[in-house]
Chains A and B, each alone.
Chain A
Amino acid sequence: QVQLLGSGPGLVKPSETLSLTCTVSDASISSYYWSWIRQTPGKGLEWIGYIFYNGNTNYNPSLKSRVTISLDTSKNQFSLKLSSVTAADTAVYYCARVIVAGNVDYWGQGTQVTVSS
């Protein structure tokens, strides 16, 4: 059974960079698309972006200027960095595996991140 485990700080200060990592078990990260999705109280589920196993990325236009998603195949991990955070970035962040149909077949457990001083 594929498992995704997200990790990272639960509290980030305004204007700083949010950093999360997702560790993938029982599946090679060297295939599929790997995504970050967040759930905010105000905007519901929002797709942040994805990275393909070859390193190609694409980001939600609303976040593109602040987002970086990267891959570490040696550790079977992928990561999210979101810069210049504000309270509006407070959310539950999910890592996820996306298949060719464009849907998620496996989700991480979700990581609550709060932006506050």
Chain B
Amino acid sequence: SYVLTQPPSVSVAPGQTARIPCGGDNIVSKSVHWYQRKPGQAPVLVIYYDTDRPSGIPERFSGSNSGNTATLTISRVEAGDEADYFCQVWDSESDVGVFGGGTKLTVL
């Protein structure tokens, strides 16, 4: 099955830019979606179709996808952005979704 790889953790100071990578074989050929999950809460979709933001998600959240890496970028990071972030694609071979292992974003 398709495998997505994320670093376990990323740390950034408030006001700086956080970049969370998601690696997969020729991931550029797939649509990548990103979710934010805070402790005790259900995940929230923050980026879909590589770059689109659902309504209500701040413009500080953006996405890109190229080659073997998709990236979630959070600009002007705030304390409230501290959470786990998961990338997800649809695996056409197994016809189910696949998630990356998740990245814990720590705001220093």
Q: How far, in Å, is A55 (CB) from chain B's closest CB? A: 16
Assess the A35–B31 pair: CB atoms within 8 A: no
A107 to B86, CA, bound (A): 14
- Check: A11 CB closer than 8 A to any chain B CB: no
Q: How far, in Å, is B4 (CB) from chain A's closest CB? A: 10
Interface residue range, chain B: 20 to 34
Assess the B42–A110 pair: CB atoms within 8 A: yes
B98 contact from A47, A101, A109, Cβ within 8 A: A47
B97 contact from A37, A107, A109, Cβ within 8 A: A37
Assess the A47–B97 pair: CB atoms within 8 A: yes
Assess the B95–A58 pair: CB atoms within 8 A: yes
Assess the A105–B54 pair: CB atoms within 8 A: yes
A104 to B42, CA, bound (A): 11
Q: How far, in Å, is B50 (CB) from chain A's closest CB? A: 10
- Interface readout for A40-84 with B: 1 if CB under 8 Å, 0 if not? 000011110110000000111100000000000000000000000
Total interface residues in chain A, CB < 8 Å: 23
**Residues of the A chain whose Cβ atoms lie less than 8 Å from the Cβ of B100:** 44
A101 to B31, CA, bound (A): 8
Assess the B1–A104 pair: CB atoms within 8 A: no
**Residues of the B chain whose Cβ atoms lie less than 8 Å from the Cβ of A108:** 42
Assess the B89–A102 pair: CB atoms within 8 A: yes
A60 contact from B35, B43, B96, B101, Cβ within 8 A: B96
- Check: B90 CB closer than 8 A to any chain A CB: yes
Assess the A47–B101 pair: CB atoms within 8 A: no
Assess the B101–A44 pair: CB atoms within 8 A: yes
A47 contact from B43, B45, B48, B99, Cβ within 8 A: B99
Question: A110's closest neighbor in chain B, by CB?
Answer: B42
Which residues of A pack against B, CB within 8 Å?
A: 35, 37, 44-47, 49-50, 58-61, 94, 98, 101-105, 107-110
